[in-house]
Structure 1
Amino acid sequence: MGITIEHDAHERAIRQLAERRGVSLTDAIGLAVNSELARDIEQDRKDDFMRCVREVQATFAKAPVLDPRPYRELVYDENGLPR
């Protein structure tokens, strides 16, 4: 299978990457494409994680407040000692 690069700047970049890495033009294209795919996949994973975090936050936000006192009052007595 062949590929034609009709954008001069892209071809120069491919040639520069190939030269810097000491690989063929085909391998340079493969390196660049695989690198971009890996970035996209990693971003998808981060987005999925953050979506889960937001779902958990939303769940907790809906939970009723059982004791409205501040944390320090719940954990420590009037002398600052743990309850």
Structure 2
Amino acid sequence: MAEDTDGGAQAGDAEFGGYAESMVELESILASLENDDIDIDALASQVARASRLIAHCEGRLRATELSLQTILAQHEPASADEEAS
């Protein structure tokens, strides 16, 4: 997922919210799936929603990791080869 111009928000935020909100929703879905009284008609839609939320969270984690790597790379000391130039 690509970064938006609003300082790092992801394209899926409109549907899923941020990472924390997505995790709360996932935990809620998990709790309902663990309940034996789950409506069978809702089961498939809840599992599908959970799958999309997981993909969204994974995308957020990957984007954050790339962002952190970029930031940290800017602050790494120059290598010996660069200093000899």
TM-score of the superposition, structure 1-length normalised? Answer: 0.46
Which protein has the larger Cα radius of gyration, Structure 1 or Structure 2? 1
Determine which structure has greater relative contact order: mean sequence separation of CA pairs < 8 Å that are 6+ residues apart, divided by chain length: 2
TM-score of the superposition, structure 2-length normalised? Answer: 0.45
